[in-house]
């Protein structure tokens, strides 16, 4: 093979590799952004559903108080973990 042909081949191969790597990084970033958007939508839906429940149903003093308090704790844990994954700090008490 001619020396100039080898150089062009190596340059073309390196360029393809860099382009492929850049494409993969862009794809990974887009995929991560989509996952974060999906997580944010899930958390918003969960919070909205819980807000409706809490506004319309008694928790304290209800015959199933223990189960309802457990539901409150579970929602708190899910929302807290999800917000942490999004990089949002939460308050312990309001």
**92 within domain boundaries:** no
Number of domains in the chain: 1
**93 within domain boundaries:** no
| pLDDT tens digits, one per residue of 20-77 | 666 666 666 667 777 889 999 999 999 999 999 999 999 999 999 999 999 999 999 9
**94 within domain boundaries:** no
| pLDDT tens digits, one per residue of 25-36 | 666 666 777 788
Domain that holds residue 39: 3-86
What are the structure tokens assigned to 60, written together? 């304290």
Contact 66, 27 (CB under 8 A): no
- Residue whose entry in the numeric block shows the structure tokens 């929302």: 79
**52 within domain boundaries:** yes
**91 within domain boundaries:** no
Q: Label residue 91 left, alpha or beta by phi (over 0 means left) and psi (-120 to 50 means alpha).
A: beta
């Amino acid at each position: 093979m001619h020396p100039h042909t080898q150089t062009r081949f190596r340059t073309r191969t390196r360029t393809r590799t860099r382009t492929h790597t850049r494409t993969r990084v862009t794809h990974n970033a887009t995929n991560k952004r989509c996952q974060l958007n999906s997580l944010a939508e899930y958390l918003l839906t969960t919070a909205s559903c819980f807000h409706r429940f809490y506004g319309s149903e008694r928790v304290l003093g209800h015959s199933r108080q223990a189960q309802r308090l457990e539901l409150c704790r579970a929602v708190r844990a899910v929302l807290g973990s999800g917000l942490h994954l999004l990089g949002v700090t939460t308050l312990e008490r309001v």
